[in-house]
Amino acid sequence: MKKFVSASLIAALLVSGASGALAGNEHHKDRGKAEKTEVKVVVAAEPLSKAEAVLKDVRLKKELIGLRQELKQAKKDTAELKAKYEKLVAELEKLSEKQAALEVQLELLQRTYQKGERAPFKKLGLLFEAIGSTEIKAFVDGKLVVADVTPFVQGGRALVPVRAISSALKADVKWDAETRTVTITRGDQIITLYLDKKEATVNGKTISLDIAPVLKKGRVFLPLRFISEHLNADVDWQSEGKIVIIDDIQPPVEPDESEETDTETSTETSTDTTEQSETSSNQQ
């Protein structure tokens, strides 16, 4: 009986010990998990103090100023240069430096624009809106047209200053105050516009206009569509930022071969005369 009881006790103790060991293992696992969780909480980054955040912004702004100077001094426009410009714009936006971001985007557009591109203008328009700009802006071949008057909308049509746009397109403009007419000459095209009259003359042929040219603040404005149709340019209107995009598609003027020949002959004659003069002087 004693042997039996002893064996039973031993079995009970073994079972109890095994259960305790299992419980201990589970407890150890749970504790390990808790410790791991605690470690994650401990190593979590603490937010920067106000002073540290200010120092970080100042440091980043200095870096951006240096990058901008580097970009301005770069002589060759490359894909890498364009990527740096785009990165600079993005960083300035993060710092809420909207005006600076706009200026850099303008630099990027003027340096790297290819006719027909619209993505750079889309970004530019959003930046104009971000600074609260409401005026209509005109660009010719990626360059902002600077004028003392701005385009405006009348009767659902955009009107642009004739002289400023024509100058950007390298066209000649003449104003006749007596007849109140504007004559624009570009290549073989001779265009006459009449103030307050919905018609124009193109190479002697009368055509109708959607809206008559307007005199405002001492400047003549003409319908934007007219430029596209008769000044050999592609014109788009972008609502974001209120931007008029004009791409000059006028074929480049090829030099007259006869003029080149005359110039070469004149140069050769001048050279011969100089050589003869030097020879005569040496003989004397």
What is the residue-level pLDDT of the chain in tens, covering all 284 positions? Answer: 444 445 554 444 444 554 454 445 554 455 554 444 444 444 455 666 777 666 766 777 777 777 778 777 888 888 888 898 899 899 999 989 999 999 999 999 999 999 999 999 999 999 999 999 999 999 999 999 988 888 988 888 888 898 888 888 889 999 998 999 999 999 888 999 998 889 999 999 999 988 888 888 888 898 887 877 788 899 999 999 999 999 998 877 665 555 454 545 444 444 444 444 444 444 44
Q: Does this model's pTM top 0.95?
A: no
Overall fold of domain 143-248: Copper Amine Oxidase; Chain A, domain 1 (3.30.457)
**How far apart are alpha carbons 236 and 113 in whole angstroms?**
15
Q: How far apart are the first and last CA of the chain?
A: 154
**How far apart are alpha carbons 262 and 106 in whole angstroms?**
43
**How far apart are alpha carbons 274 and 203 in whole angstroms?**
47
Residues 109 and 120 sit within 8 Å (Cβ to Cβ) = yes
Handedness of CA 182, 160, 245, 78 (dihedral sign): positive
